[in-house]
Amino acid sequence: MAVDIIENIITGGKGIITATLPNHAQIDYGYDTDKNSDKGKGKAFDLIVGPGDVGGGRLGFITIEQAFTVILTEVFNNQDDETKQRIAVNNVYENAHDLLKVLVRSKMGVTPAPTGCVDKVTFNSFDDLIFIDDNSVVVLNTNILVSYRYQT
């Protein structure tokens, strides 16, 4: 089923994020980052599913192209200038680049199965940075496109 493969993609992707960025905790709200109070977490992440579209298929299989978003956050505390904010911004982008390499190469950590598999993972875009918690947390949303197929 498609739901199973989406759950496998989320689970595999979060496993890769945890292994690649071991100092990051999972945020509480991925779909509404404004609700998070990440001041105590320092660095955090989430992986959420977005819209998808049928991308074709072959006999007995349906191919879906599904959007996923990797959310990375980092806390900073500006004092006299923007130095710490700039460091936090650079860090979230560097972490995103590191993650993208692993997520693409590993196909989101999903092991192929007879009922479904990930065919391809591609980087789509970075959203504009978001600053929350009184401008003390930077949020970067990294959009990726996952092409997967499952048996009908």
Residue 100: which CATH number? Answer: 3.30.2000.30
Give pLDDT tens digits for 123-151: 999 999 998 887 888 999 999 999 998 87
Q: How far apart are CA 22 and CA 16, in angstroms?
A: 10
Measured from the Cβ of residue 35, the count of other Cβ atoms closer than 10 Å reads 11
- DSSP 3-state helix, strand, coil percentages of the chain (rounded to 5)? 35, 40, 25
Structural domain of 45: 2-151
pLDDT-derived band at 47 (thresholds 50, 70, 90) equals very high
Q: Contact 44/14 with Cβ under 8 angstroms? A: no
Is the model more confident about 124 or about 34? 124
CA 19 vs. chain centroid, Å, equals 14
Q: Is the pLDDT of residue 2 over 60?
A: no
Q: How far apart are CA 150 and CA 26, in angstroms?
A: 28
Q: Give the chain's domain count.
A: 1
Give pLDDT tens digits for 66-121: 999 999 999 998 777 889 999 999 999 999 999 999 999 999 988 877 667 899 99
Q: What is the pTM of this model?
A: 0.89
- pLDDT, mean of residues 31-43: 68
Q: Is the pLDDT of residue 62 over 90?
A: no
Q: Among candidates 41, 89, 36, 46, which has minimal Cα distance to 70?
A: 46
Which residues, in sequence order, are bridge partners of residue 57?
A: 62
Is residue 16 helix, strand or coil?
Answer: helix
Q: Is the pLDDT of residue 57 over 70?
A: no
